[in-house]
Amino acid sequence: MALAERNTTGRDISSGAWWDVTRIPLSFWVGAVVLLILPLIAGDFILRQIITYAMILGMISLSLMFLAGYGNMVSLAQMTIAGVSAYMVAIFGTSAVDTISLGWPWWAAALAGIIIATIFGTLTGAIAVRTEGIYTIMITLAIAAGMFYLVRQNYTLFNGFSGMNQVGGPQFWGINWRDPVPLYFVTTVCAVCAYYGVIYVSRSPFGLALQGVRDNARRMGALGFNVTAHRIAAYAFASFIAGVAGVLLVWLNGQVSPGTIGVGPAIDILIIAVVGGLAHPIGPFLGAILYVLLRTFAIDVLVALGLGGERFQLLIGLGFLLVVFFSSDGILGLWKRFRERGNRDPLTGENRDA
């Protein structure tokens, strides 16, 4: 399993003041400018269905990357946790199913969604952390499947098969925040906060200890840490991120149904994280962009080639297979190798800046 970024630079936990502007890398400014001008150059469809959607999926995958990359815990329940949040927004807020929806204001519904999803995810963690490796995957998959059947069969709370539609979002200052551009900005702010939040926390005592648990759980106990509590806390943190993403997802789609949290989507989150790369929090976002692009345009490509459009899953699968085949650490790994090759001196075969 690929592990999260290792501290190879010699930089330690105390390095530099974060407010020092000169320390902000160029990539940050490029990223910021791109994110700011995207709404100007991208149409509504691209903005909504590609970029905003990819950032939401990226956040859910990021919550998995945090658990897997820093804690070596592969959870297949992250989509379910986001789905719980989405359902709660629909149940506590407004929707077309007014026999179920309680009609709370949007912010109260969103808060309820995030809190309940965090609690749900923490409980999932409490069950899962006593197992290791493949058993963690099995248990979290079982929880995901169980939740899927629960919402599909329960009509009193989840409206069963058809789920909840016309879910309301925030409307104030004369803006409908579910419109493409406002929702894009809300999502961007959340995704950027989640991204930097994970980077920041990874170097905090909590994040370092999680990496300690990953590297050697037994030694952590012999240093005074409660390994189980630490793992559960990691689930709580990851669930919070997934919960926020769930709120954004239901605002984006306006609906949530059993299909949102099926086993397929649960596995898609894992694929996104692995294909993007688990070594750095940017990986899940790269994976999500690739996933959404493939999903959206695979049909067109297939039809253009004279093949049946319904085979688009095949093309997605092939794309992922290729990435994983050429790099054990996803797109991140490909990028790293590409850069190393560029740096290599063609005569000596050694890195120029080593």
Partner 1 sequence: MAESVAARIAATGTANALELRGVSRMFGALAALTDISMTVAPGERRAVLGSNGAGKTTLFNCITGDFPPSSGSIRLFGEDVTAFPPQERIRRGLRRTYQISLLFTGLSVLDNVYLACRGVSRGRFSMLRPPRNDALLASAEDLVEAVHLTPQRGTLVANLAYGQQRQLEIALALAGAPRFVLFDEPAAGLSPTERRELIEILTGLPEHMGYMIIEHDMDVALRVAEKVTMMHNGRIFKEGLPQEIEEDEEVQELYLGGGHGGH
Q: Which residues bind partner 1 (CB under 8 A)?
A: 3-4, 6-14, 17, 200-201, 203-209, 211-212, 214-216, 218-227, 229-230, 233, 237
* Residue number, 145 or 208, with CB nearest to partner 1: 208
* Residue number, 48 or 214, with CB nearest to partner 1: 214
* Residue number, 96 or 199, with CB nearest to partner 1: 199
Minimum distance of partner 1 from residue 235's CB (angstroms): 13
CB-based contact 61:284 (threshold 8 Å): yes
Minimum distance of partner 1 from residue 12's CB (angstroms): 5
User: What values do phi and psi take at 271, rounded to 5?
Assistant: -60, -45
- CA dist 269 and 249 (Å) reads 14
- CA dist 20 and 37 (Å) reads 25
User: What values do phi and psi take at 105, rounded to 5?
Assistant: -60, 155
CB-based contact 316:306 (threshold 8 Å): no
- CA dist 199 and 227 (Å) reads 21
- 298: which 2 tokens? 């695979």
Minimum distance of partner 1 from residue 238's CB (angstroms): 13
- Residue 344, SS3 per DSSP: strand
Minimum distance of partner 1 from residue 17's CB (angstroms): 8
Minimum distance of partner 1 from residue 191's CB (angstroms): 19
- CA dist 70 and 280 (Å) reads 10
Cβ of 46: how many Cβ atoms within 10 Å? 15
What single-letter amino acid sits at 131? T
- 278: which 2 tokens? 């688990």
* Residue number, 123 or 199, with CB nearest to partner 1: 199
* Residue number, 44 or 132, with CB nearest to partner 1: 132
Minimum distance of partner 1 from residue 126's CB (angstroms): 15
* DSSP letter string, 264-306: HHHHHHHHHHHHH-SSSTHHHHHHHHHHHHHHHHHHHHHHHTT
Give CA torsion, residues 342, 344, 345, 348, to 10 deg: -160
């149904």: which residue's tokens?
257
* Residue number, 215 or 345, with CB nearest to partner 1: 215
* Residue number, 47 or 114, with CB nearest to partner 1: 114
Minimum distance of partner 1 from residue 13's CB (angstroms): 6
Minimum distance of partner 1 from residue 220's CB (angstroms): 7
* Residue number, 221 or 264, with CB nearest to partner 1: 221
- CA dist 160 and 18 (Å) reads 48
- 135: which 2 tokens? 């058993």
Minimum distance of partner 1 from residue 193's CB (angstroms): 14
* Residue number, 96 or 126, with CB nearest to partner 1: 126
